[in-house]
Chains A and B, each alone.
Chain A
Amino acid sequence: MHHRKVARDSAGRLWRTPVASLMTWAVMGVALALPVALLLLLTSLQGVSAGWESSARVTAYMDLDASLEQTRKLASEIASDGRVAELELVDRDRALAEFRASSGLDDALDYLEENPLPHTLLITPEENARSANGVAALVTFIESMDRVERVQVDLGWLQRLNAMTDLLARAVWALAILLAVAVVLVIGNTVRLSIESRRDEILVAKLVGGTDGFVRRPFLYTGAWFGLGGGIVAWVLLQLSLWWLNGPVERLAGLYRSNFSLNGLSIDGALALIIAAMLLGWLGAWVAVKRHLSDIEPGEIAGG
């Protein structure tokens, strides 16, 4: 009963000082939006590497003077290996046509006297051969074959991307923790000022028999409301920047033929963000209350 009244009162107080409340909400919103945005980017990136992992492909380039016939023979030999799930042969003419279409170097290619591209085999390993060792063994096997000039695996950059996202993940979490601490301190300081400004009220409440819990309550609610506002501001900021970035990101991903897309916050994610913000606000208020409320004791109220 009293909780509802106090919750309403403290929300009303924030509402009556809109500029100051908005500033606190904005500070909190920015501090929360930043790590959440980075986390979203990170999950998007991890989605990309997960997509590539399953489609790890081995590309074998033939000698330039290997004939199509020889290549076909080799292809059927490799395809019969148990570790190979799928094999596609791209002959030099098709490779050139594709290159022409995608590179835009149409005119420049016309100057070349002959096709510079070799026949190519695109090999998808079987599921059980997709480990780093399995792929390496497959590569050695193909390299050892006649007329194969070079074998390439996409795994190298994939591993680097993975290492980078791991590093990024740690950096983001460190940043998130720092910013969470900053949020707690900002709310703590704001609540401290609010405690100062309601000193008389606290004194009277203590004089008429208000328990510590009673005196603390409005400030804890104030912290939670700051958190709610901050969480909503953070969510709005995230949606805005997502909307602003989505077009360019899609174009960029299209250029890389990637299915990469920026993931927004789901409803659950948004709720979790707001609840986490409220908890941080509450925690900040609690820190301030713990430190400052016991300083206000009605000892001085009755004069000499």
Chain B
Amino acid sequence: MIEFRQVTKRYDSDHTALRQVNFHLDRGELAFLTGHSGAGKSTLLKLLMVMERPSAGEVVVGGQMLNRLPRRQIPYIRRHIGVVFQNHQLLFDRTVFDNVAMPLEVMGASPRDMGRRVRAALDKVGLLSKEKMNPLQLSGGEQQRVGIARAVVNKPPLLLADEPTGNLDPKLSADIMNLFAQFSQVGVTVLIASHDLALINEMGRRTLTLDHGNLIAGGTPLQGGPSGR
């Protein structure tokens, strides 16, 4: 589902965020991405979202090579990637329903389809009763779950999360992690950037560890063969 081949990202001559990173994640796999702050976690996620382009190497998502993707194709790639942010990026000028509906709206879904899928996503995160509320009226944990509902509403094959439990207490964090685990069980590839080591250890999943741009643990060695697999 995701494959990094010798990926290097250099911002300028003296700042290299990622150095020759190799790994791949299979369909339905849930993995953590960890490392000290500034180790390159966000850069790695940005490369997957095509917010940044690698300086060298190849990033492949769902069989699509992102390096040479034309700019106008970027939105169509992003429609296949759900993203959850630490600060959830919700819009406070509209209801919970409208926030969750945004990925469907950009795709031009019909209102009936939209209603059905938004309610299914809200039901999944246990917020069906709050669809008409403004996100400001919700607690931090609830807001984060609205963000997750938005990320999964169009059933993307890949789900990325950047510090999704950063501001939450351990109980809420565990709830959210369980949600992610459920998504991976139905075939969604989930990559969670986090530095909450206690939680990561508790989950017992594969963990990619970055240190100063080098992937020091959890990576898969690049296997032989012309295709790179």
CB contacts (< 8 Å) of B38 on chain A: these are: 304
A-B contact count (CB 8 A): 66
Establish whether residues A200 and B52, one from each chain, have CB atoms under 8 Å apart when the complex forms: no
Establish whether residues A208 and B79, one from each chain, have CB atoms under 8 Å apart when the complex forms: yes
What string of 1s and 0s marks CB contacts (under 8 Å) between A180-216 and chain B?
Answer: 0000000000000000000011011111111110100
CB contacts (< 8 Å) of A298 on chain B: these are: 49, 51
CB distance from B117 to the nearest CB of A (A): 13
CB contacts (< 8 Å) of A1 on chain B: these are: 108, 110
Task: Flag whether B72 is at the interface (Cβ < 8 A).
Answer: yes
Establish whether residues B49 and A209, one from each chain, have CB atoms under 8 Å apart when the complex forms: no
Cα–Cα, bound, A304→B103 (Å): 25
- A-B contact sample (12 more), CB < 8 A, given A201-B93, A299-B46: A2-B105, A200-B89, A200-B91, A205-B102, A206-B78, A209-B76, A209-B78, A210-B75, A210-B106, A211-B106, A302-B49, A304-B42
CB contacts (< 8 Å) of A303 on chain B: these are: 42, 86, 162
CB contacts (< 8 Å) of B86 on chain A: these are: 303
Establish whether residues A208 and B91, one from each chain, have CB atoms under 8 Å apart when the complex forms: no
* Chain A residues with a Cβ closer than 8 Å to the other chain, count: 22
Establish whether residues A297 and B106, one from each chain, have CB atoms under 8 Å apart when the complex forms: no
CB distance from A302 to the nearest CB of B (A): 5
CB contacts (< 8 Å) of A304 on chain B: these are: 37-38, 42
Establish whether residues A301 and B75, one from each chain, have CB atoms under 8 Å apart when the complex forms: no
CB contacts (< 8 Å) of B150 on chain A: these are: 208
Q: Which 9 A-B pairs have the closest CB atoms?
A: A209-B79, A209-B78, A210-B106, A208-B103, A209-B75, A211-B75, A302-B42, A299-B51, A302-B162
Interface of A is mostly: loop
Establish whether residues A207 and B78, one from each chain, have CB atoms under 8 Å apart when the complex forms: yes
Task: Flag whether B83 is at the interface (Cβ < 8 A).
Answer: yes
Cα–Cα, bound, A214→B91 (Å): 17
Cα–Cα, bound, A18→B145 (Å): 36
Establish whether residues B52 and A301, one from each chain, have CB atoms under 8 Å apart when the complex forms: no
Cα–Cα, bound, A304→B43 (Å): 8
- Which residue of the partner chain B has the closest CB to A2? B108
Given known contacts A206-B75, A209-B76, A211-B72, A302 and B106 CB-to-CB distance under 8 angstroms:
no
What are 22 of the A-B contact pairs (CB < 8 Å)?
Answer: A1-B110, A2-B105, A2-B108, A204-B91, A205-B102, A206-B78, A207-B49, A207-B78, A207-B89, A208-B78, A209-B76, A209-B103, A210-B75, A210-B106, A211-B75, A211-B76, A298-B49, A298-B51, A301-B51, A301-B85, A302-B42, A303-B162
